[in-house]
Structure 1
Amino acid sequence: MDKICEPFEFFKIMSLTKEFLEVLIIEDNLGDYALLKEYLEERFENLSFHHSLNFKKGEVLLLSELKFDLIFLDLTLPADSGKPLIKKVLDIAGQSPVIILTGSLNLDFCIESLQLGVSDYLFKDELNPNSLFKSINYTIEKQKQRLHITASEKKYSDLFHLSPIAMFVYNTDSFKFLDVNSAALELYGYGKEEFLSMHLQQILFFKEKDAFLGALKEIRHKESYSFKDYFIYKRKSGEEIKAEIIVKNIDFQNQNAMLVVANDITERLNHFEALATQNKKLNEISWQHSHEMRSPASKILGIIELINTDSCSEEEQKFLIKEIENSVKELDKVIRSISKNATQIQPKKTN
Structure 2
Amino acid sequence: MSVAPETLVHPALRVAVIGAGYWGPNLARNFAISTDWELVAICDMDLDRAEALARKTGNPSVVGSLDELLARHQIDAVAIATPARTHHQIAMQAIAAGKHVVVEKPLADNSVHGAQMVEAAAAAGTILMADHTYCYTPAVLKIRDLLADNELGEILYIDSTRINLGLVQPDVDVFWDLAPHDLSILDFVLPGGLSARTVTALGSDPLHAGKSCVGYLSMELESGILAHINVNWLSPTKIRRMVIGGSRKTLVWDDLNPQQRLTIFDRGVDLERQEMMRADAEDRKGATISYRLGDTWSPALSEFEPLGLMVSAFAASIRGARPAPTDGPSALRVLKVLEHADRSRAAAAATLSTDHSTAAMENAR
Normalized against structure 1, the TM-score is what?
Answer: 0.31
Q: Is the strand fraction higher in 1 or 2?
A: 2
Larger radius of gyration: 1
Normalized against structure 2, the TM-score is what?
Answer: 0.29
Q: Is the helix fraction higher in 1 or 2?
A: 1
Larger RCO: Structure 1 or Structure 2 (Cα < 8 Å, ≥ 6 residues apart)? 2
